[in-house]
């Protein structure tokens, strides 16, 4: 179930980097629910990529490109061409289509070692309605997977949170609860290398609420920028996309300063950062 596709042209980072990739991608087709095979994705990238790249290249510290997870459905059907703006044309940054937005905003959000870029570049274009529906279906877990889960009576329970913690541990992050974060404020120096804050909110049901996420971050950014350096990210459901562009700024904000250097706020995940270029066994 390995198909080949040729990727050519530029891939624009939505944040700050730009990576040029030319080569051949070998990607897994939709994985079966019981599949445990280690598929291989090979990307041969142009070494000319770094010229426009303001970031220090680095490798992805876990090898997802070699072991696509169950349920991931990167499908490549044909040689890619320039995108059809008619169906999915959203301007310069999003002209690569819906799948581009999903994967690229996550995976290509920074620069990596171009000899092994973790770019799973999914771009398809639809020539007819049926094909468009088929492409839309690639944006979700394959129905066969869901069906098998339902038939097996598999429902999320308390073990799922523990599994997530194990996954995080495997890729080099630890999650531990600090019961009194403010109590340690005076003793623990703040670093922008530590994820000090996380804001969680749920947007069930009425999907229009998701509109407020970029609005929210924009507000935070604008209000806070004169006081602190603020870098912010949004994680939303995969079939809901954010617009990254120049008109209203990016949802993510990068500033060189360390914010509030004399203040410590500790929330959320405390992490042990993996060494750069270190690969996780995941």
Residue selected from 46, 146, 148, 279 as contacting other proteins according to rule CB under 8 A: 146
Residue 225 has which token pair?
């920028």
Contact letters (x/-) for other proteins, 44-63, by CB under 8 A?
Answer: -----------------xx-
Count of positions (residues) in the chain: 282
**CB of 67: closest distance to other proteins in angstroms?**
7
CA torsion angle for 225, 226, 227, 230 (degrees, to 10)?
Answer: 10
> Which residues between 248 and 277 bind other proteins (CB under 8 A)?
248, 252, 254, 259-260, 263, 265-269, 271, 273
Residue 79 or 163: the one with the smaller Cβ distance to other proteins is 163
In sequence order, the 6+-apart residues with CB closer than 8 A to the CB of 90 are: 243
Q: Which stretch binds other proteins (CB under 8 A): 3-11, 18-26, 40-48, 139-147?
A: 139-147
In sequence order, the 6+-apart residues with CB closer than 8 A to the CB of 18 are: 10, 11, 12, 49, 52, 53
**CB of 95: closest distance to other proteins in angstroms?**
12
The structure tokens 């070692």 sit at 113
> Which residues between 150 and 189 bind other proteins (CB under 8 A)?
150, 155-158, 160-161, 163-168, 171, 173, 175-179, 181
Long-range contacts of 244-247 (CB under 8 A, 24+ apart): 244/14, 244/15, 244/93, 244/94, 244/105, 245/91, 245/92, 245/93, 245/94
70 binds other proteins (CB under 8 A): yes
281 binds other proteins (CB under 8 A): no
Residue 22 or 173: the one with the smaller Cβ distance to other proteins is 173
223 binds other proteins (CB under 8 A): yes
> By the 8 A CB rule, do 46 and 114 touch?
yes
Q: Is 222 helix (H, G, I), strand (E, B) or coil?
A: helix
205 binds other proteins (CB under 8 A): yes
Residue selected from 201, 246, 262, 281 as contacting other proteins according to rule CB under 8 A: 201
Residue selected from 24, 133, 183, 186 as contacting other proteins according to rule CB under 8 A: 133
């Amino acid at each position: 179930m390995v198909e080949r596709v040729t990727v050519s042209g530029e891939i624009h980072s939505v944040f700050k980097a730009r990576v040029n990739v030319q080569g051949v991608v070998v990607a897994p087709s939709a994985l079966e629910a019981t599949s445990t095979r280690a598929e291989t994705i090979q990307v041969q990238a142009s070494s000319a990529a770094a010229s426009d790249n303001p970031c220090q290249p680095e490798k992805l510290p876990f090898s997802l490109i070699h072991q696509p997870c169950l349920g991931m459905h990167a499908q490549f059907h044909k040689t890619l061409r320039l995108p059809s703006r008619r169906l999915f044309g959203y301007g310069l940054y999003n002209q690569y289509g819906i799948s581009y937005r999903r994967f690229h905003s996550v995976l290509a959000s920074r620069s990596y070692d171009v000899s092994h870029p973790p770019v799973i570049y999914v771009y398809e274009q639809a020539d007819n309605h049926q094909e468009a529906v088929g492409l839309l279906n690639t944006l979700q877990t394959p129905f066969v997977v869901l069906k098998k889960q339902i038939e097996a009576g598999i429902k999320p329970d308390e073990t799922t949170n523990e599994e997530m913690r194990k996954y995080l541990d495997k890729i080099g992050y630890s999650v531990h609860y600090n019961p009194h974060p403010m109590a340690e404020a005076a003793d623990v120096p703040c670093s922008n290398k530590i994820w000090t804050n996380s804001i969680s909110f749920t947007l069930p049901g009425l999907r229009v609420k998701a509109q407020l996420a970029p609005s929210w971050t924009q507000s935070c950014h604008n209000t806070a920028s004169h006081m602190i350096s603020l870098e912010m990210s949004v994680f939303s459901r995969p079939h809901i996309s954010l617009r990254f562009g120049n008109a209203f700024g990016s949802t993510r904000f990068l500033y060189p300063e360390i914010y509030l250097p004399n203040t410590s706020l500790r929330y959320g995940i405390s992490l042990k950062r993996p060494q750069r270029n270190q690969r996780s066994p995941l």
